[in-house]
Amino acid sequence: MILLDAVDLTVRHPERDLFRGISLTLSTGDRLGIVGINGTGKSTLLRVLAGKTEPDAGSLRRGQGARIVMVDQADPVPAGTVRGVVAAAVPDAPWEAEAVLTRLGLGELLDRPTDALSGGQARRVQLARALVDPGDLLILDEPTNHLDLDAIDWLEGWLAAYTGGLLLVSHDRHVLDRVTNRMLELDRGQHYLHDTGYAGYLEAKAEREVSAASAEAVRKNLARAELAWLRRGAPARTSKPKARIDAATALVEARPEGAARASELHFEFPTPRLGDVVIEAEDLSVEAPDGRIVVRGLTLRLDPRERLGIVGPNGTGKTSLLDTLARRRDPAAGELRWGSTVEFAYHDQLGASLDPELRVRQVIAGPHREPDWTDARLAEAFWFTKDNQWSPVELLSGGERRRLQLVATLATKPNVLFLDEPTNDLDLETLRALEDFLEDWQGAVVVVSHDRAFLERVANDVLVLDGDGSARRWPGGHAAWLEHRRANRSAGAARVAKGDTRAKATPGRSTSSISAEIRQVDKTMARLEKRKVALLAEMDGAVTDHVRLTELGAELTKVGDELDSAESSWLELSAELEERRGG
């Protein structure tokens, strides 16, 4: 089924075309990822395709009866409770709304009014509303922002199983790699449509840039020869054909397109030297803003080249711990010591406020000095060209402002860097630039992030918070911790298969939290059973449609596997609850 047909879409800004001439057709089963540097119009294109913004040129047609659902970063959340707002989208299955909200980390906020939510919580409510009733075409703009690692992992699986059309803007490389089968790349008004997933897009982009570099080398050689020809003596010049003179001039003055951003820009970044003592915590306890103790008895020592990630579900106190280590919040108990050579910078989820009238170069230099060459080089390393550095902040896109906030943080020349969700709203190339920068940087880094690819590249170890006060350091980083979790899950499934349902109790888990999980699994099993019955009924009515029978059979197998997994979880949780109660 054709869902959307776009022809020659163009959106213009006063100084340039944001994008032009985009033509594409989206059908059921298409899964299109949209990528490009900040300011190329990714979010604008989503709104145009969703029918929320009119293009300056081109046409857009919807498939007959096709229903489009979009999660827009700018949309407000309807009034009501969290549970009520999402359940309104599925009045016949309110338990499904609760299940999705729980998966997205909102299980404790079901009865909270939506006008009392933080910005990140409101975004998750909007996402939940879309997932329970996704329509024929689901359009998502940075859906992994504000999700923890477990929620992202679940969302990735949900999107992979979704059978409708999908339009997705995301900086999460794992999600793009798993759930897309086509990619649209926006690049300075141009666009490139790749009939492959994320990996194929990267290969095609690399080949295009190599080809552009080769063509530019040929152009330079020809330009040198033509320039010599043009400069031959004045008498000979009068007989030169005008057409060749014009062609030679155009060749010499041509500006190559090439890559949107230059290759690696290496430079010496001045970092004050750190002594042997950086930051040391002894028996540290951390209190969240709501008064909960989220970390108890933490002993931690950071070394001068520390690369530490802090991970855990939303609400477990990651930002509170980062604030405490950075001395933005007092410890609830214990001792925190800083070395005398520490000069730190903190980049939080909001970023520093920016004066819209200041120019980019002034923001980077800060209020107390004039911009110098190191500021310019740092700006160029993060894709602010010499021309961009003279632009006022008010002309920057949201993603460009976020990138500027990051560069301004680095420009303070710290030797200890605290980063709280630094990847939110950054494009993929900026992420790679930040990873490259941190890899060579001579200071210590402590980062809270839900970006799996970023953690795998940047963090040597992770500190895992579980919400019950414990914080455990895992050498080997996020990949090692994830491998451990998967091994534990496999071991649990093996115990159930052998009939050993008395799972090992997890320290610190209360009977109420286990009971809540059991209720959630009950709802999941009820939903899966309902879907299984519907699939069997549909198969009975499609006995002559072999293609549809194959599709239904594949989905039935998937539902059966999910049901088996849910039943295994139910057995494990029930055994754990029995053990907790001393049964």
Tracing tokens 């980049």 back to the chain, one arrives at 347
How many Cα neighbours within 13 Å face the side chain of 54? 2
Residues β-bridged to residue 293: 287
Alpha helices in 40-105 (DSSP H): 42-49, 82-87, 94-103
Q: Indicate the helix (H) or strand (E) that contains 269.
A: none
CB 406 within 8 A of CB 435: no
Residue type, 320: S
DSSP β-ladder status, 416-420 and 344-347: parallel
The SS3 of residue 539 is helix
Residue 467 vs residues 335, 359, 518: alpha-carbon distances, Å:
21, 43, 19
Pairing of strands 137-141, 165-169: parallel
Cβ–Cβ < 8 Å for 32, 169:
no
Tokens 């070394």 — which residue? 303
Instruction: Quote the pLDDT of residue 234.
Output: 46
| Structure confidence at residue 563 (pLDDT) | 78
CB-based contact 285:335 (threshold 8 Å): no
Q: What pLDDT is attached to residue 370?
A: 87
Beta strands in 257-413 (DSSP E): 279-287, 293-302, 307-311, 333-338, 344-347
For 348-389, strand residue ranges (E) read none
Determine the straight-line distance between the first and last CA of the chain, rounded to whole angstroms: 55
Question: Tokens 């710290």 map to which residue?
Answer: 414
* Residuewise pLDDT in 10s, the chain (583 residues): 899 999 999 998 776 788 899 999 999 999 999 998 877 889 899 999 999 999 999 999 998 889 999 998 778 889 999 999 999 998 888 888 888 998 898 888 899 999 998 888 899 999 999 999 999 999 999 999 888 888 898 899 999 999 999 999 998 988 999 999 999 998 877 888 888 888 888 888 777 776 666 666 666 666 666 666 566 654 544 555 666 566 656 655 555 554 544 444 445 567 888 888 999 999 999 998 888 899 999 999 999 999 999 998 888 899 999 999 999 999 999 999 999 999 999 998 766 678 888 989 988 888 888 888 888 888 887 878 888 888 888 888 777 888 888 888 888 889 999 999 888 878 888 888 888 888 888 899 999 998 888 998 889 899 998 877 888 888 887 777 777 766 665 555 555 445 554 444 445 556 666 766 776 777 787 788 778 777 777 776 776 777 777 777 778 778 877 877 887 777 677 667 666 655 4
Q: If residue 226 lies in a helix (H) or strand (E), which one and from where to where? A: helix 198-230
Nearest CA to 459 out of 348, 302, 314 is that of: 302
34: left (phi over 0), alpha (psi -120 to 50) or beta: beta
Antiparallel, parallel or unpaired: β 461-465 and 471-475: antiparallel
What residue has token string 């500006």?
255
Contact predicate 552/538, CB 8 Å: yes
What is the C-alpha separation between 468 and 464, in angstroms, rounded?
Answer: 11
Question: From CA 82, how far away is CA 95, in angstroms rounded?
Answer: 13
Question: How many angstroms from the chain centroid is the CA of residue 203?
Answer: 21
Chain-centroid distance of CA 285 in Å reads: 30
CA 352 to chain centroid, in Å, comes to: 20
Q: How far apart are CA 441 and CA 415, in angstroms?
A: 9
Tell me the Ramachandran region of residue 21: left when phi exceeds 0, alpha when psi lies from -120 to 50, beta otherwise.
left
